[in-house]
Amino acid sequence: MSTVALQTHGLSKSFAVKRKAAGLSGSLRSLWHPQWEEKVAVKRIDLKVDRGERVAFLGPNGAGKSTTIKMLTGILHPTSGEAEVLGLTPWRERTKLAFRIGAVFGQKSQLWYHLPPIDTFDLISRIYELKRSEYLARRADLIDRFELGPYLDIPVRKLSLGERMRCEIAVSFLHRPQLLFLDEPTIGLDVVVKQRIRELVLEANRVEGTTVFLTSHDAGDMEELCSRAVVIHHGGILLDAPVDRLKREVLSRKIISLTLSSSFEAGTLPDLPGTELMESEGRRLKLAVDLKQTGIESVVSALIGKFRLDDMTVEDPPMEEIITHIYGSGG
């Protein structure tokens, strides 16, 4: 068996986008003289992922992440280039490949909205041609691991986003996929649920050897879930590096957002090396901390000692900032 999970050579995808001028006259003109523009969504991507790897495919909105995943799962046909996923050409052997891969699209639900998740589990077991006994055992295991017991009989529309996402990911594991595509699986989720979902995916990778190919513009997904990061921008690969290296070189900044109990006065910020005031308005302020110069604990302690706080969050910089930083450092 090949050790390669997926491989692409010059994979590209372009769309024809209709241009329309503003207003009624623009709409009328477009009727008689439609103007089309070619939009390059993915530009000559060369990529190789080994079996069992956990790869983060990162980039800002519109970078081409989802389009690439859709080509790799056989949903979209490329404009040019080649791809092989688990030894198959996705768009030519979509049905055959579907038995061996799983996919979760964070913004699209595969669960039947008015029915409890257990009904979707039953449907999926039939579609993937699972034997009844095998299905029941697998379902029991997933219910246990994903702690789905309390939600299985509740209509999906009544579940919270976090509960629903756990069901979505559990369903995608039902047929034991060798390769799992996760497209923004943590979008819109709170910190606790995000963490739980990351743990569950990591466990599947560890226990079942599932290859994970994840897209996200949440740097936390990459940091905690993946060992390798591929960053794309404007449809092309900008960086392909181990996450550890990225953490050292790029993700050494944290953003601290504070809400003080009284208005912030300029010049009262503790003098800490590598800490910079990004913005302030009334009681709210945002700081950037360079972890290479000061540990996060020291900054938090100094802030608590100096101000009375109503709220505080520590976050990774947004993906757009990380991309800018990678650009600045020459990839």
Partner 1 sequence: MIDRKMQSVLSLKSKKAGAVATITLRQQLAYKTDFIMRSTFLLLILFVFVQLWSSAYEGDRTRIIDGYTLKQIIWYLVFTEAITMGVPSLCSLIENEVKNGDIAIRLIRPISYVGYHYAAYLAEAVFRFFIHLAVGSIIAWTFVGPPSFGWGWAGLFSLTLGAISIAFLLNMVVALCAFWVEETRGMEFVLHKLQFTVGGMLLPLDLMPEWLQRICSWLPFQAMLYFPARTAVNYGSASLLQQAAIQAGWIAVLAVCTVMMYRKGVAKLHVNGG
Rank residues 92 and 206 by Cβ distance to partner 1 and give the closer one: 92
Q: Cβ distance 246 to 229 under 8 Å?
A: yes
Rank residues 8 and 73 by Cβ distance to partner 1 and give the closer one: 73
* Smallest distance from partner 1 to CB 111, Å: 10
Rank residues 103 and 289 by Cβ distance to partner 1 and give the closer one: 103
Residues that bind partner 1 (CB under 8 A): 15, 65-67, 70, 73-77, 91, 94-96, 98-99, 101, 103, 105, 107-110, 112-115, 119-120, 122-123, 126-129, 155, 183
Q: How many CB atoms lie within 10 A of CB 48?
A: 14
d(CA 309, CA 256): 12
- At 220, phi and psi to the nearest 5? -65, -35
Task: Report which of 86, 66, 67 is spatially closest to residue 78, judged by C-alpha positions.
Answer: 67
d(CA 140, CA 149): 9
With H, G, I as helix, E, B as strand and everything else as coil, classify residue 5: strand
Ramachandran class of 123: left when φ > 0, alpha when ψ lies in -120 to 50, beta otherwise: alpha
* Smallest distance from partner 1 to CB 15, Å: 5
d(CA 305, CA 312): 14
Rank residues 37 and 129 by Cβ distance to partner 1 and give the closer one: 129
d(CA 210, CA 176): 8
* Smallest distance from partner 1 to CB 330, Å: 28
Rank residues 27 and 262 by Cβ distance to partner 1 and give the closer one: 27
* Smallest distance from partner 1 to CB 52, Å: 21
* Smallest distance from partner 1 to CB 188, Å: 14
